[in-house]
Amino acid sequence: AQSVTQLGSHVSVSEGALVLLRCNYSSSVPPYLFWYVQYPNQGLQLLLKYTTGATLVKGINGFEAEFKKSETSFHLTKPSAHMSDAAEYFCAVSGGNAGKSTFGDGTTLTVKP
């Protein structure tokens, strides 16, 4: 079984500030972890993923995330927010070869000028 908890359904930051979106997961097998971004009226787009190897992974648009097994976390960060980062972000976990992902409820990021 697998599950994802995203802490905070809404996060608001000022332009240029640090972005931190929190994700905790549970999985009965070594997890694959993903962050997706969804802009209004669009589908989801893969931002970054952790499968094996380096625990700090970099994605598109300057985002990165760190896999911390001991904390069962995969938080998403960006050093400096841009207005174009305003969107909804989803964390997801997939276990083993099944290929089926479980998604969190999403976090809406607002960026203030």
Partner 1 sequence: DVKVTQSSRYLVKRTGEKVFLECVQDMDHENMFWYRQDPGLGLRLIYFSYDVKMKEKGDIPEGYSVSREKKERFSLILESASTNQTSMYLCASSSSGMGQGGARGYTFGSGTRLTVV
Total of chain residues touching partner 1, rule CB under 8 A:
26
Count of Cβ atoms closer than 10 Å to residue 7 Cβ:
15
Strands 10-14 and 107-112, by their bridges, are parallel
Binding status of residue 98 toward partner 1 by CB under 8 A: yes
Residue 106 interacts with partner 1 (CB under 8 A)?
yes
Q: Does 67 bind partner 1 (CB under 8 A)?
A: no
Q: Using CB under 8 A, which of 13, 23, 94, 111 touches partner 1?
A: 94
Phi and psi at 84, nearest 5°, equal: -70, -10
How far is the C-alpha of 61 from the C-alpha of 32, rounded, in Å? 21
**Site of interaction with partner 1 (CB under 8 A):** 9, 32, 34, 36, 41-46, 49, 51, 90, 92, 94-101, 103-106
